[in-house]
Chains A and B, each alone.
Chain A
Amino acid sequence: MKLSVNTEIALTYLSARKKQTAVAAMGVMFGISMFIFMQSLMKGTNDYFEQQSFNTMPHIHIYSENKLANTHLMDNYLKDSSLKLLVNPKMVPQPTGLINPVGIIEVIKHDSEVVAVTPQVTANVFYNSGNIQLNGVVVGVNIIEENKMFDLKNDMVMGSLDDLEKISNGIVIGKGIADKLSLHVGDIITLAAATGGTQTMRIVGIFSTTIMQTDNSKSYANIAQVQTLLGKNRSYVTDIMVNIKDYNRAPAVAKKLATITGYKAEDWVQANESLKAAFKIRAVILNSVIGVILLVAGFGIYNILNMTIYEKIKEIAILKAIGFSGPSVTSIFLQQAIYIGIMGGIVGIGVGFGLTYMVSRIYIGAGSLKYLPMSFYVPHYIEAVLFGILTTIAAGYFPARKASKVDPVSIIRG
């Protein structure tokens, strides 16, 4: 390969001062590897928490909400253009059951973005065993679909989720309930609904999530069983859970479903604003740390090139005397910065990956979280190198421009 003379001079200068070059490259390397490491940690944990939240929460949750009283009824009777006012309007209770849930589910299923739909019946209940009472929520589900959506099997600590299908009055309870009522798989538990009905059920499994409140109150039963408990018919459904292809599109799809169904459609972002806020705060903190690291690396390069230029000022004058133009001199010194950036970048990728991998092997063992969640996401590496090289160019530009402005006469004549 034929190197241009500017490149040749730049490379000679770099190799003539190996130590300085190495120090500058190490600065960049440090910046880039930290960038990769931080981004991996951030994305890893964010993804983990998002995944975690989807274990208990659908992308979109459709349910019936009480509505504020409005003037529709009056419109029916007073069919004129008179102004109707409701002073101090009250909430009008709506039936908790959805009207025509089967129809709604059919419609939702036909949406191209939807991948899974499952109906639920939730009921506030008292768990009775012996003389002890515990209040909580039982969720009537189609266990196969529910498992597909929320991966419940992963949380099972005892018994089997599949037994729920075989045993019609089976129930899967949270570990907290089991501990508090001293219950095991195979035991009997009585559920009393707030509306008065009671059901005796057989425990077929116990689950444990990372959220204690859920473990202390939640249980899963077959949907028909909960409908019976509430004294409702087979078409009684309180909630419809929807999962879509790309969960980032949930707000848009939720809006569409709300219009179609006429019920409240809540997306996971709305339901998890604190989670999203935490993501954002973490992003700000980590990005500022990365920014500072890259800034420091940039100043390192700036310093070293500046010193080089003072050291080499006579040589710059000679180069200009023998016919190197200002832009050529700029190119010589800017290239040095860029090569430092590339060297630091390549090593930084390696170190960043190594660091990320090592940390991903650290055992945490909190709840269902065994190892630190780290992501290995290629765009992070590309971004890191891009940022690194941009920093070095910015840091190298000013010294290089200064070099190009050296006046050969004043230097050579002394």
Chain B
Amino acid sequence: MTDIALKAKGITKYFYDPVKFPALKNIDLEVNKGEFVSIVGKSGCGKSTLLYVLSTMDTDYEGELLINGTMVTGKSLNDLAAIRNGSIGFVFQFHYLLPDFSCLKNVMIPALRLGKLSPKEIEAKAYEKLKMFGVEEQALKKANKLSGGQQQRVAIARALINDPAIIMGDEPTGNLDSKNTGVVFDLFQQLSKEFGQTLVTVTHDEDFAKRSDRIIVMADGEVQSHGR
């Protein structure tokens, strides 16, 4: 087994609207297992774009992407969906819960999809995750009845439900106050240190970035500094 959780080789991506424009230029990137990496950079530097490529959702790029040593570039959309389901947890810039479902269901759905545990076990696990973020009282409320910060915490709980090898966050603390940002940060650090989960987050929050293991700085679609 390799120690590299995420490896990108020569990733290049173009935007075509309004004119052909390189959003990512020949990016090489390695993230080790259990590492907590922050990607920072100015707006429009391509850091979110890179994250979506790394998350396997965006398949329109040149170059190669390996997750846990497995080549994922060129796999079918359905295979990629299965990879995301089992080994990638994703936290979006805005909370993005399913409003018709309770918070508990929202957290449970990825695990139900995976189908490795019984619904009872999944429910217990989902409660545990909600408790970690202090939103267990909201568990049975509909997702759209919660405040933005609460929803964001539920969304993070959802990203963790399948114990993914890699957790990706696009401004995961963007909607949280400093107290809850601290809670989330401590938890992320715990996940990487104690459980060996890899974290890759895109952030504007300098304090958050500084406290992570490594900062990757991006500018104009290129990696300026790998931080090591």
Contact = CB atoms under 8 A, between A and B. Distances in A.
A323 B82 CA distance: 6
Interface residues of B, number: 31
Chain A interface size, as a band, is 20 to 34
Given A321-B57, A322-B85, A326-B81, A5 B96 contact: no
A310 B158 CA distance: 24
Interface string A380-414: 00000000000000000000000000001100110
Interface in A306-328: 314-315, 318-328
A9 interface: yes
Contacts of B114: 323
Centre residue among B57, B81, B100, B115 by max chain A CB count within 10 A: B81
A16 interface: yes
Contact of A323 (B58, B81, B105): B81
Interface string A1-19: 0100100110011001000
B4 interface: no
B158 A322 contact: yes
Contacts of A413: 48, 52
Interface of A is mostly: helix
A16 B100 contact: yes
A339 B40 CA distance: 48
B113 interface: yes
Contacts of A9: 109
A323 B52 contact: no
25 contacts: A9-B109, A12-B100, A13-B100, A16-B100, A314-B96, A320-B81, A321-B55, A321-B90, A321-B92, A322-B158, A323-B82, A323-B83, A323-B85, A323-B88, A323-B110, A323-B113, A323-B114, A324-B113, A325-B82, A326-B78, A327-B78, A328-B81, A412-B57, A413-B48, A413-B52
Interface of B: 48, 52, 55, 57-58, 77-78, 81-86, 88, 90, 92, 96-101, 105, 109-110, 112-115, 119, 158
Which 9 A-B pairs rank lowest in CB-CB distance, beginning with the nearest?
Answer: A323-B85, A325-B81, A5-B112, A16-B100, A325-B78, A323-B84, A409-B58, A322-B110, A409-B57
